[in-house]
Structure 1
Amino acid sequence: MSAITWEVFASRGFETAWPELGEGVLRARGRAVGTVPEPYWISYGLETAGGFVTRRLSVTAETGDGTRTLDLRHDGHGRWTANGEPLPDVDGALDCDLGLCPLTNTMPVLRHGLHQVPGQREFLMAWVSVPDLAVRPSRQTYTHLEPGRVRYSSGDFRSDLEFDEEGYVVGYPQLATRLTAR
């Protein structure tokens, strides 16, 4: 399994992920370190079901205040739980979005081939803030601009992301840039 490493400008840190793509599924584990909004270490595991729909995201965050964990699960029918507690605010979402993590932009892009073919899709995401691991609903739009380029927007934020042929982020202005080839 090869690794992808990004320099994450937004956190003044780095992330390394070890992803595995299969027929419509993604599994990955990753580690991140950052200093903004406070010094932290993150470890995560991500599993999707068919169609790159999130099944589970498990995250451990370490900060000066101690260690927090999140076990975020999607039941395959549109309902989510965080550490076993229902999350009705994100019901209907298909994807998680781990804050400051370029890897989690891969699932919606691959599901709809937006890095290769024209289209625009709006999504509700189960967004996980880092390093506190709070889960909030986030409305996001992905728009194909040209092969390998997709515009991401959420609220007033907009960025034109660069993807490789496999659907992994190469460049995410204002957030991160990839340091290693896949």
Structure 2
Amino acid sequence: MSASRVITWDVSASRGVETAWVELGGGVMRARGRAVGTVPEPYWVSYELETAEGFVTRRLSVTVETQTQDRALDLRHDGHGRWTAGGEPLPDVDGALDCDLGLCPLTNTMPVLRHGLHRTPGEREFLMAWVSVPDLAVRPSLQTYTHLGPGRVRYASGDFRSDLEVDGEGYVVEYPSLARRLTAR
């Protein structure tokens, strides 16, 4: 790994905050993060994310604590398009390259970096293994990322659209209606 970062976001969508410790280099990303939110209910999230070459998700391990329940998810991609959660097949997300952890601006980084959408023109549609928070349900999500200019990428899924500001490394700086980075480079 060539570059380590610690990034903190004010996550307005959850009325909370998230910090991620990220290592990035050689087309691979490893991260661990912690978040606290109050919407839809107070919760703590801890996660570990590993990608293979090309920023393709290999594993996302997540735990969530709420007042009434603790949950855990071990989401794995086999490198051939198939996913499992806790060892059980998830055929609805087969073919997806990425996970998208709900309310987590870090997971927008992988598709942006893979295709250089923060630097060069293009538009790409992705099937994502979307993980909702705090229940950790995994669902398929079609998402489109469009280069708008240097450091500007439009994210779209269904009727939702947001124009993201990302830094030169592809990390979210501003995600209107979701999060804003608190830490400087």
> TM-score normalized by structure 2?
0.97
- Residue deviations 1:90-145 (CA, integer Å, cap 9, x gap): 00000000000000000000000000000000000000000000000000000000
The structure 2 residue matched to 1:69, chosen from 67, 72, 80, is 72
Deviation for aligned residue 1:181: 1.6
Percent identity of equivalent pairs? 84
The structure 2 residue matched to 1:170, chosen from 160, 168, 173, is 173
Residue in structure 2 matched with residue 84 of structure 1 by the alignment: 87
- Residue deviations 1:6-47 (CA, integer Å, cap 9, x gap): 000000000000000010000000000000000000000000
Structure 2: segments with no counterpart, 5+ residues: none
Aligned residues: 182
Q: Where does 1:70-149 land on structure 2 (aligned, <5 Å)?
A: 70-149=73-152
- Residue deviations 1:154-182 (CA, integer Å, cap 9, x gap): 00000000000001000000000000023
CA distance in structure 2 between the aligned counterparts of 1:19 and 1:169, rounded to whole angstroms: 13
Structure 1: segments with no counterpart, 5+ residues: none
Please give the root-mean-square deviation of Cα atoms over the aligned residues, in Å. 0.6
Read off the aligned partner of 1:158 and give its amino acid letter.
R
> TM-score normalized by structure 1?
0.99
CA distance in structure 2 between the aligned counterparts of 1:74 and 1:65, rounded to whole angstroms: 30
Read off the aligned partner of 1:178 and give its amino acid letter.
R
Structure 1 residue ranges, 4+ long, deviating more than 2 angstroms after superposition: none
